[in-house]
Structure 1
């Protein structure tokens, strides 16, 4: 038997589908909805959380709940290695000096405690966080400055900086997992939906890891695109007999 919050969520789902609230429009206040359905605030919020996880509703702190636009998604393209950014996104960058944790040391194939530079890119659409990319470069590989020009939400500027100092990336490996968000990630993305976690390592021509990236995207507002380029050799026509 469906729980009370699921029944409320289904009713709201049908009302949205019927056009009672259009994409981008605000839902009634939670107190009003709770009174309408004769439900407690926690039950009503559980229903709204379910709709957020489905990508139907988006909650903005201090403003309320809104019907999410169906095409409002951020696309991570695995073939993207430029400093271009999606036009609707605003990107913030913070640069820190840090010491490698055990997990980062394993990823970068360096000793724990080794010095590295962290570049943190946070992309936003309005006030909604759409991605967080943290990139790490060991000091023994390069000491990088602040990038110039437009910022990429995926941290591609770091690769440009590496190229500028003579470190060339020859290959990259990416591992993508889907998992439930931590309490901090749930608050950051304002959604209980699963997150997409991308772990990317980049190697030079000798196989040395020169960069590691940890990317986070909210699963209800993001998708990942993989592009494969295949080399096809041209063949001439056989000689006429």
Structure 2
């Protein structure tokens, strides 16, 4: 009989950091609206690499537990009345990610003809010119998620969405700075599925590995769809959590 050690059942390093920070928030060590230790401090505290810390903070942001502000740090979000924590908002979280500060690769970025499913979400004719951007994020162990954004070509003009280099600001901030475009509303669709052959290859997973797909339509203040975000998350590395009052 083979006896397996407890280390073989230990969660990934970033998940251990998530658990530790959540415990400190729960016990009051990090109260609502407080500033978390810097990434450098967390690297020293947990003895891990910076990509692992960044991944943990991204998970906490995705779950609505913290808010990350470029140049300022990560803050504990105050829970709404009657709930333990805010709802997970993966669409918003990925729009605020700063690629240049994370361990990621821009797979491709540039113009192409929009396929029918995305055209419907963008409310434009099939085959219309769009700019697609695909970015693969990693921690120091493996790929963690694949992010894809579709933007009509006329809205992407004058931005860096079509450039194959990491953005130095989140997409939401970048569009506002470069185009004066304010993103105000997101509609998300979540699905459990198997990855496509291309997704499986990029994320180094099998074609039968369950993934969570988040397809988000992003609207401007006038109610027009301006972006479609497609996020692919390996099921074994992610969970979405929600809480609400009855």
1:167-182 to 2 correspondence within 5 Å? 167-182=181-196
Q: Secondary structure at the match of 1:103?
A: helix
1:164-197 alpha-carbon deviations (Å, 9 max, x no partner): 2121111011111111233443333333430010
- For the pair 1:158 / 2:175, whether they are aligned, the reply is no
1:138 aligned partner: 152
- Which is richer in helix? 2
Say if 1:91 and 1:151, in contact at 8 Å, map to a contact too.
Answer: no
| Distance in 2 (alpha carbons) for counterparts of 1:186 and 1:160 | 30
- For the pair 1:98 / 2:86, whether they are aligned, the reply is no
- For the pair 1:197 / 2:213, whether they are aligned, the reply is yes
Structure 1 residue 124, shift from structure 2 partner: 1.4
- For the pair 1:224 / 2:240, whether they are aligned, the reply is yes
1:71-102 alpha-carbon deviations (Å, 9 max, x no partner): 54452612535344797x50122321111111
Going from structure 1 to structure 2, the CA distance change for 1:168 and 1:111 (only over 3 Å counts) comes to same
Q: Secondary structure at the match of 2:188?
A: strand
| Distance in 2 (alpha carbons) for counterparts of 1:151 and 1:117 | 15
- For the pair 1:215 / 2:228, whether they are aligned, the reply is no
Q: Which runs of 5+ in 2 are unaligned?
A: 16-54, 63-88
Q: Secondary structure at the match of 2:171?
A: helix
User: Which has the higher Rg, Structure 1 or Structure 2?
Assistant: 1
Going from structure 1 to structure 2, the CA distance change for 1:103 and 1:150 (only over 3 Å counts) comes to closer
Superposed CA RMSD in Å reads 3.4
TM-score by length of 2: 0.57
Going from structure 1 to structure 2, the CA distance change for 1:86 and 1:146 (only over 3 Å counts) comes to closer
TM-score by length of 1: 0.58
Equivalenced residues, count: 167
| Distance in 1 (alpha carbons) for counterparts of 2:100 and 2:242 | 17
1:82 aligned partner: 96
Which deviates more from structure 2 when the two are superposed, residues 197-206 or residues 72-81? 72-81
1:35-46 to 2 correspondence within 5 Å? none
1:124 aligned partner: 138
